[in-house]
Amino acid sequence: MITTAPRGTQDVLPEESYKWQYIEQALTALSQKFGFHEVRTPVFEHTQLFDRGVGDTTDIVQKEMYTFEDKGGRSITLRPEGTASVVRCSLEHGLLGRSLPLKMSYLIDCFRYEKPQAGRYRQFRQFGAEVFGSQHPACDAELIAFVSQIFETLGVGDIGVEINSIGCPKCRPMYHDKLRAYFNQHIDQLCPTCRERLEKNPLRILDCKNDSCKEVAAGAPKGIDNLCEECHDHFEGVKTRLDAMGISYTVNPQIVRGLDYYTKTVFEFVSQNIGAQGTVCGGGRYDGLVQTLGGAPTPAIGFAIGLQRLMLVMEHAGAFMGRDTVCDLYIASIGEAASVKSQQIAMDLRRQGFFCESDVQGRSLKAQMKYADKLGARYTLVLGDDEIAAGRGKVKNMETGEETETDFSALGGLLGKR
């Protein structure tokens, strides 16, 4: 073996992949019900997109990006998240000039150089959704309702949503001043990164993972107590609508999120059952990002669910995670003529939509039947010269052991009966 997979990455093995397919299909189907169309953007972007978009005081930009120079001397970064790319794509293709709201979803792999642990990878998968063009609290509430519906549909309805408001450019400067004054009193307890962040973006300190910073942050003034009237009313509007839709939530003033683009509503869906990395979904409003990246001022809001974490939650809940495909018929053959015939019949049945296998290794009948058993085939058929001459054979139901003699042309009808 040349090497092993890099730390923090994951192989999805053939016997597990159906779970991923099931979840991704369910997410796609649900997003269509909520009016989202899929967008696909490149795995890598120009580094400056994330520097500007995600924010250069965030852990992601400061510590976690996979950045390299390509052979043309450009600085390239493997996407650490999807939002900045979706905004870039919308601007590049003029999508925001069409009728609004513009609603897009995506299923992507993201890359962050973080310390791997349960539920935390260096390559991980996200399902995300973004809505552009509405500043109304109805939009925030609908998006949170969408995520709730996803969890409910996937059988993990007990995940709670925590919401907060972190204000807007109008109320934030005053709040930042209050934070600076508070953190300056505790500067000795802050980590070197947070000391640097103090001037530029004190909000970031509230999200630091360092224990000492966390302790200080717990006593800091709360954003929610320092909102302007507009932000306050917006947040009340979101809550009223969540109440009306029967979506329970808790207000958690500690949520600030790890990316710089957020304004007003932020939210996280947190599971208590999968260890330290319990945040399965994170999102919020980002009314300034489109303009930061060169577009006209456009309100926007979105979320992303981490699929590895979603799977952990589903496994813990014993939720249905799809079924692997089951072989409808295995055709064993004795001799060359039967081998040719078995392949022909298998192909006919596949054209009719069945999962059918025949021997492609020239194995003994015993070995073929053993393989059929391993496949878990529903039915088997053994072909020899007599069967070919008669144009019919005995199909065995592997569950009941019952045998039915059938013309080859009628095999589809028999397999179709469940």
Q: Which chain residues interact with ligand HAM by CB under 6 A?
A: 81-83, 112, 114, 120-121, 124, 126, 128, 130, 258-259, 279-284, 286, 302-304, 306, 308-309
Report the nearest approach of ligand HAM to the CB of residue 54 (Å).
Answer: 8
User: Which residue type does 204 have?
Assistant: R
Q: What single letter denotes the amino acid at residue 156? A: V
Q: Which residue is nearest to ligand HAM (CB)?
A: 306
Nearer to ligand HAM, 35 or 376 (CB): 35
Select 276 or 296, whichever has its Cβ closest to ligand HAM: 276
The end-to-end CA distance of the chain, in Å, is 44
Minimal distance, residue 146 CB to ligand HAM, in Å? 12
Shortest spacing between CB 108 and ligand HAM, in angstroms: 10
Token pair in block for residue 293? 């990246």
* Closest to ligand HAM by CB, 58 or 368: 58
Nearer to ligand HAM, 159 or 395 (CB): 159
Q: How far is the CB of 257 from ligand HAM (least distance, A)?
A: 6
**Measured distance CA(148)–CA(312) in Å, rounded:** 17
Min dist CB 121 to ligand HAM, Å, is 4
Residue 189 CA to residue 146 CA, distance in Å, equals 40
Q: How far is the CB of 283 from ligand HAM (least distance, A)?
A: 4
CA neighbor of 287 nearest in space, from 232, 231, 236, 237: 231
333-342 long-range contacts (CB < 8 A, ≥24 apart) are 333/358, 333/359, 333/368, 333/382, 333/383, 333/384, 334/365, 334/382, 334/383, 334/384, 334/385, 335/384, 335/385, 337/385, 337/388, 338/383, 338/384, 338/385, 338/387, 338/388, 341/383, 341/388, 342/383
Give 178's DSSP letter.
Answer: H
Nearer Cβ to ligand HAM (163/411) = 163
In degrees rounded to 5, what are phi and psi of residue 398? Answer: -75, -15
Q: At what angle do helices 192-200 and 172-185 cross, to 10 degrees?
A: 150
Nearest to ligand HAM of 267, 379 (CB atom): 267
The least CB distance from residue 244 to ligand HAM, in Å, is 23
Closer by beta carbon to ligand HAM, 303 or else 379: 303
The residue count for the chain: 418
What is each CA distance from 50 to 45, 46, 88, 268, in whole angstroms?
Answer: 8, 8, 10, 22
CB-side neighbour CA atoms (13 Å) of 258: 16
Provide, rounded to whole angstroms, the least separation between the CB of residue 86 and ligand HAM.
8
Please state the φ and ψ torsions of residue 240, each to the nearest 5 degrees.
-55, -45
Q: How far is CA 196 from CA 114, 201, 227, in A?
A: 21, 9, 25
Give me the least distance between CB of 131 and ligand HAM, in Å please. 9
- DSSP-based three-state secondary structure for 8: coil
Of 132 and 183, CB closest to ligand HAM: 132
Question: Quick one: 84 or 377, whose CB is closer to ligand HAM?
Answer: 84
Smallest distance, Å, CB 113 to ligand HAM?
A: 9
* Residue type present at position 294: G
Amino acid at the residue 276 = A
Q: Closer CB to ligand HAM, residue 239 or residue 309?
A: 309
